[in-house]
Amino acid sequence: MLHRFLSKYGDIQVLVMSPKKKGSALVEFKERKSAEMAVDFEIGLSSNPLKLEWVDGPPKSTRQTNTLLKESDLKVLLLTKMRQAEERKRLIAQMMAEDTES
């Protein structure tokens, strides 16, 4: 389930669920930009929120130095938000259907 939530930001190289610390995982994306988008935008579900953070703190050369967004960047952000909302709706519907089957 976590893989489905995060893979919309890009290819995931590694996803390790912690056996000792319930609810914790380590995720490594193929590209840095994918990880940045996941950290910036993913919130999970209202019933099961996600908190994403960098292992060693935020990268030193982040986009903070360039605060101007191009029009294409804004389009990408908007499309990402729209995909997130649709994916969230689909996952909620799927979870509710699974609950009623049980």
CATH number of the domain residue 48 falls in: 3.30.70.330
Instruction: Give the CA angle between residues 21, 24, 28 to the nearest 5°.
Output: 135
CA 10/CA 28 separation, integer angstroms = 10
Residue 82, domain member (yes or no): yes
Tell me the residue range of the domain where 97 lies.
2-55+67-101
Written as tens digits, the pLDDT of the chain (102 aa) is 889 889 999 999 999 988 888 888 999 999 999 999 999 999 888 888 888 989 888 877 655 545 566 777 888 888 888 888 888 888 888 888 877 876
Judge if pTM exceeds 0.85.
Answer: no
Q: Residue 66: its pLDDT value, please?
A: 52
Residue 62 belongs to some domain of the structure? no
Please, are residues 39 and 53 in contact by the beta-carbon 8 Å criterion?
yes
What pLDDT shows up at residue 30?
92
Total domains in the fold of the chain: 1
